[in-house]
Amino acid sequence: MEFKSGFWGRLFGFKQTERSKEQVQDQDSSLPDLDVEHPEHSELTSSLPDLDSEQQLKPDINQLVLSHEHPFILLFEKWREQVGYAPLPSLRLDYGDEEGTVDEELEKELSRLRRAITSVAADRLSQIPKEPEPEPPSEEEESEGKEEEAEEEPPFQLDAQPLVYVTADQLAAWLVVFPPIGEGRELDAEMLAAILRESGVSYGLDTELLDSLPSAENRYFHLFLIARGKAVIHGKDGYIEDFFRRTVKKKFEEDEHGRVDYFHLNIVQNVEKGQPICQIIPPVPGVPGRTVLDEEITCKEGKTPALPKGRNTEASEDGMQLLAVKSGRVEFSGRSFLVKSVLEIGGNVDFSTGNINFVGDVHIHGDVGSGFSVRTIGNVTIDGVVEAAEIEAGGDLIVAKGILGDSRAMIRAHHDVYAKYMENCTVHCRGSLQTDCIVNCDVYCDGEVSVRSGRGTIIGGRIRAAQGVDAKVVGSKSESVTSIFLGGQPFADFERETLLLNIKKQEAELERLERQPDSPTRTQRMGKLRLDLSIGRMKLAQFDKELKKIKEKLEEQGGCRLKCSIAYPGMVLTIGDLTMPLAKETSMVDARLVGGEICLL
């Protein structure tokens, strides 16, 4: 072992101290003699942690793991074998307080680092001369020993070698230094400056680390972060800040007595002329980055969004705000904001106004008298009472004081209906219906009928609901007949029946005209009837197609149900083709179709 210490000490240029000699002697007393040509018997296994151990519960993903046969480990082993003590090698890509890379990127960087270190370590290891085998001296060699010692070959020399590793994104540069061999030169500032010039690393250098590294105890076989680049910050796109809601949810708030104030639903979003509807929040500019090679990294700039300009709106002078051209109601069509003019009726709809036909929204501050009609493609808001009138809304219908129809009122809405109460009227609703009370009404609703606020009662009449009925009380103690029909599409079915009735009337009229003698009037009338029949049959075919899809969708959803707190005898429930009359008063009803039968759960 003394021969080995002398040989490798000359290679690495190390002069042993008394302390290091004692450490080597302690190691020799506990370990078998090592053969340099068989590194698998290296004493490193007793000092280095087992990097491949499966017992490590939390492996360090930033650490480059090398086997004991790797040239880097063998080179370190031979050097440590001679110096007696040396800090364990550390090859850890640790970025400190910055965010680390994702696992996939980190794995690629460690693979690139492995290839770089392997190449240099293997090259240096191959340059180290093999240890000569000791032979017993002969008598002549003993007599000539002094002369041979004088003819000893000069020591091997190999300077310390720093290696700079630049990451793939060129935002970090790392340094690992291999120790000198023989009488080679130790690491110094001149070596570091030369390798930096050669690698091109010049930006973000850690000068304090580089200045202290030549005298650091762990300067060899350790990975140091010597330079950091400046990461690029890409710009963020601008966005639209809305001052009005794009989707208006109809929310009814009840007081402590369970009453709903239909006067203040906050559904209509009114806007004044010149008032901003939305504005553009400018994009955040990007910040260019810089690599450790002092090269600029270009950034992506954020985009400025376009204003969602619709009807009756315009951009401001600076182009950053969307303004209302006129006063009205703000709506979002799915692509743009638009302002709809609202027809305001300050009093009642009566002989002073006549029937109302309008292409926008209508707001009536009074009542709608008997015999009058209100038709619009928008929403209808009525602050008073609807008497025996006809109301048709292309959007929502809101009646703050209720409907008193006298069995002649006809109400149609292509969206939702909200009313304080409904008595003796016919209601067709494509959406949902909400009210406090329904008395002797014919209701056709493609959504849900909700009668939970206020009294919450349904007495008499026929209620047809596609998605279900939810009420407090259904029927009355006097056992008035109250029919509930669930499922299907009542509104669509009624429209189909009306369309089919019109087709039959037109066919009968066409047959009557065909029996008449030819005349210009007859020819003109028959031409118009044939066109109307063609259009009607096309609509009927489209209705049937849509109804089939809706029916399949409802079957997938599992049907609908009737929910009420109390149901009185006289209620007749029909779901599909099944009918069940209620024979006794029942509480907490949750009726639905189960296994082909109507069950009251």
Task: State the pLDDT at residue 517.
Answer: 87
Kindly report, residue by residue over 153-162, the tens digit of the pLDDT: 666 678 888 9
Other CB atoms within 10 Å distance of the CB of residue 383? 16
Task: State the pLDDT at residue 145.
Answer: 53
In whole angstroms, give the CA distance from residue 187 to residue 191. 6
Cβ neighbours of residue 370 closer than 8 Å, sequence gap 6 or more: 387, 388, 389, 406, 408
Assign 6 a pLDDT band (cuts: 50, 70, 90): very low
166 pLDDT more than 70: yes
pLDDT averaged over every residue in the chain: 81
How confident is the model over 109-121, as a mean pLDDT? Answer: 89
Which three-class secondary structure state does DSSP give residue 319?
Answer: coil
Q: Please report, rounded to a whole number, the percentage of residues in the chain having pLDDT higher than 90.
A: 41
In whole angstroms, give the CA distance from residue 391 to residue 409. 8
Task: State the pLDDT at residue 90.
Answer: 83
Kindly report, residue by residue over 168-182, the tens digit of the pLDDT: 889 999 999 998 877
Kindly report, residue by residue over 282-310, the tens digit of the pLDDT: 999 999 999 999 999 999 999 999 999 99
Instruction: Give the containing element (helix H, strand E) for 124.
Output: helix 103-127
Kindly report, residue by residue over 486-503, the tens digit of the pLDDT: 988 888 778 888 888 888
**Helical axes 71-83 vs 103-127, angle rounded to 10°:** 60
Other CB atoms within 10 Å distance of the CB of residue 224? 19
Q: b/e map of 519-552 (b: 16 or more CB within 10 Å)?
A: eeeeeeebeebeeebeebeeeeeebeeeeeeeee
In whole angstroms, give the CA distance from residue 32 to residue 34. 6
List the one residue out of 5, 64, 59 whose CA is nearest residue 221.
64
Task: State the pLDDT at residue 227.
Answer: 92
577 pLDDT more than 70: yes
Cβ neighbours of residue 148 closer than 8 Å, sequence gap 6 or more: 141
Strand partners, 591: 562, 600
Strand partners, 484: 463, 573
* DSSP conformation letters of 133-162: PP----HHHHHTHHHHHHTPPPPPEE--EE
Which of residues 357 and 131 earns the better pLDDT score?
357
475 pLDDT more than 90: yes
Other CB atoms within 10 Å distance of the CB of residue 286? 16
Which of residues 375 and 7 earns the better pLDDT score?
375
Ordered by start, the domain boundaries in the chain are 2-133+154-228, 436-486+559-601, 495-556
Return contacts of 346-354, CB within 8 angstroms, 24+ apart. Answer: 348/384, 349/374, 349/389
* DSSP conformation letters of 476-521: -TT---EEEEESS-HHHHHHHHHHHHHHHHHHHHHHHHHTSPP-HH
How confident is the model over 102-118, as a mean pLDDT? Answer: 85
Q: Please report, rounded to a whole number, the percentage of residues in the chain having pLDDT higher than 70.
A: 81
Kindly report, residue by residue over 419-431, the tens digit of the pLDDT: 999 999 999 998 9
Block residue for tokens 């010149």:
274
107 pLDDT more than 50: yes
Tokens of 24: 């080597």
Angle at the Cα of 560 from the Cα atoms of 554 and 564, rounded to 5 degrees:
165
Q: Does residue 370 contact residue 354 with C-beta atoms inside 8 Å?
A: no
- DSSP 8-state symbol, 414: S
